[in-house]
Chains A and B, each alone.
With several copies, the nearest count.
Chain A
């Protein structure tokens, strides 16, 4: 069952069982909903941005272990970061998740430098071996990107 271990790393299961930053924010800078019509996963992200820094982030919603762990890990990765830095994390994460498209036949492990810069998030690298689950992993990230857009385009 080697494959399953690639998907369900211990750290993923930990974030799934004890998701970080659950809840809502009152009068957030942005509140954006995400939805995966295929499996029904839902997420609502609340961001508080002060002086260009994500001072707080909370999330509600439900979904599978991958989507829940991904959003939980995302929240810890961006909290306290500048909008600029958050964008970079998103880019790097999505790069990791699109590996499959680059090497269609066989999903390779991403190369080391990529992984290191992602920290804990690197645990999600195994998801690319399960193409149907990539959408689970990226749901929160796409929703976050939308939330950042909203903050940045606010008057």
Chain B
């Protein structure tokens, strides 16, 4: 056991006091969205009650306070990521999805020509697929997929062939369906050797493993606040200062300009260029509190905790159900996170989730926005259970109890 105490986190998390169907909530859907601690909720509340104002260009006291909270959150995120260039590399977006679109439509549209290849993987979330398909339509790029092997890991055996013509490798740090943790550092080396850049979809990996950008030699990173104990409506796009400086604007509007005349406009410099319109200010207050909270827990301890839970759950699911409950993902806890995609023999994932709800257990049925991956394994859907900092082995107990009912009911 690490020194990290999930029970403290539970006390901090108001949602875990919810009672559903007469049972305390067994929240196993952190891969979809995590439960924010009170400190995050209060940061938002306090912002709206005491410091709310639009940011930038404000001179009055509360506008300065709002700006300090907003820019303080940016600095907090830069610290959390250990970003080599500090705050000037942190762009606030509205989520991983917007961050990936920003990457495709700003950097991608400016730097990729017809025939250039973007290499993604078969286990990507749609957020790291559809924007590239859209760029294919407008700019004629090629989108190529790294296959996923039977072991639920990237099959890199043909990587040299795959890299032909590749200008950007864009992969998820950790699969939101399989739990697979990808070898990002190795992929970064390969990409750079081939003169390509590398983007990481960090929606899961930043939240559950942490990311040290000064140690990891990547070029772009995207993630969401709501998956890391923060609020909805905010995300981050990170890239190195030199790259950011050359990226053309994405969305147009107030804030992202230096000048607008009737005959044209001049974009602003720095992260501002990509933050058109009133930014997510209260959300930044919440995200700032979330990264402080995560830092207080320690990302390593948190990852170790989830690894332990996963190892325990993998073992017990195998023991209890004798093959009737299959986990779609790596069977060993090494190099995988706390995401358990369940395939219950003879029971549709929708029904699994429905039965589990009767026990207050929250799992998510569906394709988890990863249809190419589901197709690869011949599945329409899975029932996905996923852990967070507040998860306990007791959650696995209830999961197993409820799964037992599902198996029994459907005989």
Show the binding face of A for B, using Cβ within 8 Å.
1, 3-4, 7-8, 13, 16-17, 35, 37-41, 62-66, 68, 130-133, 136
**What is the CB-to-nearest-CB distance from B381 to chain A, in angstroms, rounded to a whole number?**
6
B411 and A13 contacting across the interface, CB-CB below 8 Å: yes
Report the Cα distance A16→B354, complex, angstroms: 16
Q: Known contacts A13-B411, A64-B350; decide if A40 and B380 are in contact (CB<8 Å).
A: yes
Asked whether any CB of chain A lies closer than 8 Å to the CB of B355, the reply is yes
B258 and A133 contacting across the interface, CB-CB below 8 Å: no
Q: Known contacts A1-B405, A8-B409, A63-B348; decide if A40 and B367 are in contact (CB<8 Å).
A: yes
Report the Cα distance A13→B351, complex, angstroms: 11
**What is the CB-to-nearest-CB distance from A146 to chain B, in angstroms, rounded to a whole number?**
15
Taking CB atoms, residues of chain B closer than 8 Å to A65 are 347-348, 350-351, 410
Report the Cα distance A34→B272, complex, angstroms: 18
B410 and A13 contacting across the interface, CB-CB below 8 Å: yes
Taking CB atoms, residues of chain A closer than 8 Å to B410 are 13, 16-17, 65
12 further A-B contacts with Cβ under 8 Å, apart from A4-B405, A64-B350, are A1-B405, A4-B354, A7-B354, A13-B409, A13-B410, A17-B411, A39-B57, A39-B350, A63-B348, A64-B354, A131-B64, A132-B59
Q: Known contacts A3-B358, A8-B409; decide if A40 and B381 are in contact (CB<8 Å).
A: yes
B354 and A39 contacting across the interface, CB-CB below 8 Å: no
Q: Known contacts A40-B380, A63-B348, A132-B59; decide if A4 and B409 are in contact (CB<8 Å).
A: yes
B258 and A37 contacting across the interface, CB-CB below 8 Å: yes
Asked whether any CB of chain A lies closer than 8 Å to the CB of B165, the reply is no
B258 and A4 contacting across the interface, CB-CB below 8 Å: no
A130 and B365 contacting across the interface, CB-CB below 8 Å: no
Q: Known contacts A13-B410, A13-B411, A39-B366; decide if A4 and B358 are in contact (CB<8 Å).
A: yes
Taking CB atoms, residues of chain B closer than 8 Å to A35 are 258
B350, B355, B367 interface centre (most CB from chain A within 10 Å): B350
Report the Cα distance A1→B21, complex, angstroms: 10
Report the Cα distance A17→B272, complex, angstroms: 34
**What is the CB-to-nearest-CB distance from B384 to chain A, in angstroms, rounded to a whole number?**
13
Taking CB atoms, residues of chain B closer than 8 Å to A131 are 64
Nearest 6 Cβ contacts at the A-B interface: A64-B350, A64-B348, A65-B351, A64-B351, A4-B358, A39-B350
Asked whether any CB of chain A lies closer than 8 Å to the CB of B268, the reply is yes
**What is the CB-to-nearest-CB distance from B367 to chain A, in angstroms, rounded to a whole number?**
6
Asked whether any CB of chain A lies closer than 8 Å to the CB of B7, the reply is no
Report the Cα distance A8→B351, complex, angstroms: 9
Taking CB atoms, residues of chain B closer than 8 Å to A68 are 348
B411 and A39 contacting across the interface, CB-CB below 8 Å: no
Report the Cα distance A38→B255, complex, angstroms: 9
Taking CB atoms, residues of chain A closer than 8 Å to B346 are 17
Taking CB atoms, residues of chain A closer than 8 Å to B380 are 40, 62
A4 and B64 contacting across the interface, CB-CB below 8 Å: no
Report the Cα distance A3→B405, complex, angstroms: 13
Taking CB atoms, residues of chain A closer than 8 Å to B64 are 131-132
Taking CB atoms, residues of chain A closer than 8 Å to B376 are none
A39 and B365 contacting across the interface, CB-CB below 8 Å: yes
B350 and A136 contacting across the interface, CB-CB below 8 Å: yes
A133 and B354 contacting across the interface, CB-CB below 8 Å: yes
Report the Cα distance A34→B349, complex, angstroms: 19
Which residues from 350 to 370 on chain B have a C-beta closer than 8 Å to any C-beta of chain A? 350-351, 354-355, 358, 365-367
Asked whether any CB of chain A lies closer than 8 Å to the CB of B113, the reply is no
Report the Cα distance A64→B367, complex, angstroms: 13
Which residues from 316 to 366 on chain B have a C-beta closer than 8 Å to any C-beta of chain A? 346-351, 354-355, 358, 365-366
CB<8 Å pairs between A and B, sample of 12? A3-B21, A4-B355, A4-B409, A7-B354, A13-B410, A16-B410, A37-B268, A37-B272, A64-B349, A65-B351, A68-B348, A130-B354
Taking CB atoms, residues of chain B closer than 8 Å to A64 are 348-351, 354
Asked whether any CB of chain A lies closer than 8 Å to the CB of B46, the reply is no
Report the Cα distance A43→B351, complex, angstroms: 17
**What is the CB-to-nearest-CB distance from B410 to chain A, in angstroms, rounded to a whole number?**
7
Q: Known contacts A8-B409, A65-B410; decide if A39 and B358 are in contact (CB<8 Å).
A: no
Report the Cα distance A107→B134, complex, angstroms: 44
Which residues from 25 to 82 on chain B have a C-beta closer than 8 Å to any C-beta of chain A? 56-57, 59, 64
Q: Which residue of chain A is the closest to B359 with respect to CB atoms?
A: A1
Report the Cα distance A62→B348, complex, angstroms: 9
Taking CB atoms, residues of chain B closer than 8 Å to A38 are 56-57
Taking CB atoms, residues of chain A closer than 8 Å to B21 are 3
Taking CB atoms, residues of chain B closer than 8 Å to A63 are 348, 350
Q: Which residue of chain A is the closest to B257 with respect to CB atoms?
A: A37
**What is the CB-to-nearest-CB distance from B378 to chain A, in angstroms, rounded to a whole number?**
11
Q: Known contacts A63-B348, A64-B350, A65-B348; decide if A40 and B366 are in contact (CB<8 Å).
A: yes
A4, A16, A35, A136 interface centre (most CB from chain B within 10 Å): A4
Taking CB atoms, residues of chain A closer than 8 Å to B351 are 8, 64-66
Report the Cα distance A17→B349, complex, angstroms: 15
